[in-house]
């Protein structure tokens, strides 16, 4: 199960009643935060999620509206008694940006940086072997990454097959976890005792960018795509092109091509006072689109048995 | 006339419905901002004051809750089309702090730093000769300054005296502005033609600190003192002493000793959910005390004729 909260839905600058775009994902009692513009720590309090438990912060890029809340969150985590280190991932220049932003923050725990240099990369993390976090380069005015968070579902163990193959019970647990068991003169592989693959849970988060094929690939069969829709109106496509952002219909096109289940739009321009007025521009292409709102929440469970 | 808005009233961290302590003072259509923690730009929007017009930012000290909103404000000022430089004053290490905080901010105008090194200093600024801004060192855990903003009232010109002294009319304007007129063989001083001194307007702002005599001196006959009251309860004096903050009754004592007209308390600890419950602890000492609230506003006019 993944618990997803869209903490904010704005771009460019925080507004009264519209926090900047940021995503909180909870898995096994620990948190992952994607982006943290000014005010994100307040948005977390409003949404009832705790900064204290955030072990991993993923930064898409270093425009102010995506990172300026970082020192405040780290400070507040420290004041709440946190002592465990926090890992921060982001594009090149990560340590310069983080140390600059934190110049006035007293942080009583370690920060571990994970600078992204490849176009596509799998991130090491401490959330266990079933969770896969990948970063992929986007197309913005500065180096920017999208992220997928994917929870793999373990294949079911088939005791009948194990018995038929005379596999000793003492190896069952290791095989069930996907481990290959090698002993002198014998090798047991998980495939021998595990049933068919089962669909996991996948979230694809992506802002700020122009549309790219890589976004479609990363979002393939995602349960939830969260994509920027800087402008709602199709007439603003040229402005989006110039500023390296997307309009609603472009985000919907990506979700449709990725065969995603659901799309949340976010990162609205401050000039979009009522983004919901343009939702049909997206739904005409991808019907299961929602306009993201601050604090919007969803629990994603495994869908098949 | 000085227009004063307390943008926030919290200390330590921003909370839903409580912005961090910050003061906006408007004079002659231009703004002075004292401190700017995370979220201050949103507080300004809520209070209906414009960041665009802020020419001078006064930082009390470099704890995160007083400065982390600086880059967001500067970015938003830039996006609103500002091109004129902004002056920022603060304790030593100003340029390190500002350049660190602004690492992810694109700011399309110049920043002029004014580092405070003396215990008491008068600040140069562009608000005209009638406005006096002074900084004075406080007693906190890091170098910290309080500020007074004082609008001098010009003395009234007495044309009868000028006529009696045969002062040519062409010099009257200069003398009225306080200028000494020297011509070959003659000297006219403003005292010759100006009537008695008149009370100006004075605001004294002071957080974070323990009580000191200097706060009393700086606040002498202030129309408005804005002082921190980290805790309301007298029982929390020891905590205030340790953390180098003040309780309500200490702030009231300072305002009373300064013969101030009015006191606003601010910079409440997040643990003070209902600071108004303790207002009597201050009013018993200084009756004209108000609990500061976010967006609290007052226009200060000259009081005597």
Q: What percent of chain A has pLDDT over 90?
A: 93
Confidence check: pLDDT of B243 > 90: yes
Burial A263-273 (b: 16+ CB within 10 A, else e): bbbbbbbeebe
Which residues have C-beta within 8 Å of that of residue B66, sequence separation ≥ 6? B20, B21, B35, B36, B37, B59, B60, B208
Please check whether residue A241 is in contact with residue A250, taking contact to mean a CB–CB distance below 8 angstroms.
no
Confidence check: pLDDT of B305 > 70: no
End-to-end CA distance of chain B: 14
Nearest to A15 among B42, B69, B106 (CB): B42
**pLDDT, greater one: B150 or A185:** B150
Confidence check: pLDDT of A173 > 80: yes
Q: Which CATH number fits domain B2-153+199-300: 3.40.30.10, 3.20.80.10, 3.30.750.80, 3.60.15.10?
A: 3.60.15.10
Give the residue-averaged pLDDT of B228-252.
Answer: 98
Chain A residues with CB-CB distance to B45 below 8 A = 15-16
pLDDT digits (tens, 9 = 90+) for B28-73: 999 999 999 999 999 999 999 999 999 999 999 999 999 999 999 9
Nearest to A104 among B42, B67, B75 (CB): B67
Q: What percent of chain B has pLDDT over 90?
A: 93
Question: Quick check: is A65 catalytic?
Answer: yes
Query: Using 50, 70 and 90 to split pLDDT, how confident is the model at A303?
Result: confident
In this structure, of A135-149, A155-169, B237-251, the range with the lowest mean pLDDT score is: A155-169
**pLDDT, greater one: B178 or A25:** A25
Give the residue-averaged pLDDT of A176-189.
Answer: 89
Q: Where are the domains of chain B?
A: 2-153+199-300, 156-195
pLDDT number for residue A215: 98
**Mean pLDDT for chain A overall:** 96
Which residues have C-beta within 8 Å of that of residue A96, sequence separation ≥ 6? B103
Q: Which of A11, A16, A38 to mutate to test the interface with B (most CBs of B within 10 A)?
A: A38
Query: Using 50, 70 and 90 to split pLDDT, how confident is the model at A57?
Result: very high
pLDDT number for residue A245: 98
Confidence check: pLDDT of A305 > 70: no
pLDDT number for residue A164: 94
Q: How many Cα atoms are found within 13 Å in the side-chain-facing hemisphere of B129?
A: 4
pLDDT number for residue B178: 85
Q: Give me the long-range contacts of A132-135 (CB less than 8 A, separation at least 24).
A: A133/A32, A133/A56, A133/A58, A134/A218, A135/A58, A135/A89
ipTM above 0.90, yes or no: yes
The number of beta carbons lying within 10 Å of the beta carbon of residue A67 is 29
How far from the centroid of its chain's Cα atoms is residue A270's Cα? Answer: 23
Query: Using 50, 70 and 90 to split pLDDT, how confident is the model at B185?
Result: confident
Q: What share of chain A is helix, strand, coil (3-state, %, to 5)?
A: 30, 30, 40
Residue-wise DSSP of B67-102: HTTHHHHHHHHHHTT--S-EEEEESTTHHHHHHHHG
Nearest-neighbour CA in chain A from B2: distance (Å): 26
pLDDT number for residue A203: 98
Chain B residues with CB-CB distance to A97 below 8 A = 103-104
pLDDT digits (tens, 9 = 90+) for B156-169: 999 999 999 999 99
Quick one: which of B194, B151, B199, B152 has its CA closest to B173?
Answer: B194
Please check whether residue B115 is in contact with residue B218, taking contact to mean a CB–CB distance below 8 angstroms.
no
**Mean pLDDT for chain B overall:** 96
Task: Assign residue A54 a region (left: φ > 0; alpha: ψ between -120 and 50; beta: otherwise).
Answer: beta
CA pair distance A164, B15, nearest whole angstrom: 62
Catalytic residue among B35, B65, B208, B223: B65
Give the residue-averaged pLDDT of B202-212.
Answer: 97
- CB within 8 Å of chain B, chain A residues 236-265: none
Task: Give the DSSP H/E element, type plus range, for residue B257.
Answer: helix B248-257
pLDDT digits (tens, 9 = 90+) for A80-119: 999 999 999 999 999 999 999 999 998 999 999 999 999 9
Confidence check: pLDDT of B4 > 70: yes
Tell if the CB–CB gap between B100 and A101 is shorter than 8 Å: yes
In this structure, of A170-184, A215-229, B45-59, B121-135, the range with the lowest mean pLDDT score is: A170-184
Question: Tokens for A207?
Answer: 């802002």
Nearest to B104 among A46, A64, A76 (CB): A64
Query: Using 50, 70 and 90 to split pLDDT, how confident is the model at A176?
Result: confident
Which residues have C-beta within 8 Å of that of residue B100, sequence separation ≥ 6? A99, A100, A101, A102, A103, A104
CA pair distance A226, B198, nearest whole angstrom: 63
**A72/B contact by beta carbon, under 8 A:** yes
Antiparallel, parallel or unpaired: β A111-116 and B296-300? unpaired
Confidence check: pLDDT of A304 > 90: no
Confidence check: pLDDT of B285 > 80: yes
The structure's pTM equals 0.93
pLDDT digits (tens, 9 = 90+) for A6-16: 999 999 999 99
Q: Which CATH number fits domain A2-153+199-219+290-300: 3.60.15.10, 1.10.3720.10, 3.40.640.10, 1.10.1040.10?
A: 3.60.15.10
């Amino acid at each position: 199960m993944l618990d997803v909260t869209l903490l904010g839905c704005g771009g460019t600058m925080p507004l009264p009643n519209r926090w900047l775009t940021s995503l909180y994902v909870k898995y096994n009692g620990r948190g992952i935060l994607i982006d943290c513009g000014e005010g994100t720590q307040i948005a977390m309090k409003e949404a009832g999620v705790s900064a204290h438990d955030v072990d991993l912060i993923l930064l898409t890029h270093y425009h102010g509206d995506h990172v300026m809340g970082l020192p405040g969150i780290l400070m507040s985590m420290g004041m709440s008694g946190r002592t465990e280190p926090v890992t921060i991932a982001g594009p090149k220049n990560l340590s310069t940006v983080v140390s600059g932003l934190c110049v006035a923050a007293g942080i009583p725990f370690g920060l571990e940086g994970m600078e992204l240099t490849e176009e596509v990369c799998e991130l090491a993390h401490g959330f266990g072997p079933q969770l896969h976090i990948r970063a992929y380069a986007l197309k913005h005015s500065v180096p920017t990454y999208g992220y997928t968070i994917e929870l793999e579902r373990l294949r079911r163990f088939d005791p009948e097959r194990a018995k038929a193959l005379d596999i000793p019970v003492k190896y069952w647990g290791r095989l069930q976890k996907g481990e290959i068991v090698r002993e002198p003169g014998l090798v047991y592989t998980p495939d021998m005792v595990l049933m068919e693959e089962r669909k996991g849970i996948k979230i694809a988060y992506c802002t700020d960018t122009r549309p790219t094929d890589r976004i479609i690939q990363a979002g393939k069969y995602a349960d939830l795509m969260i994509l920027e829709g800087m402008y709602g109106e199709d007439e603003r496509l040229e402005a989006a092109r110039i500023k390296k952002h997307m309009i609603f219909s472009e985000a919907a096109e990506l979700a449709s091509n990725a065969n995603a289940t659901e799309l949340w739009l976010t990162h609205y321009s401050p000039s979009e006072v009522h983004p919901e007025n343009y939702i049909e521009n997206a739904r005409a292409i991808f019907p299961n689109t929602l306009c993201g709102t601050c604090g919007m929440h969803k629990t994603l469970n495994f869908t098949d048995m």
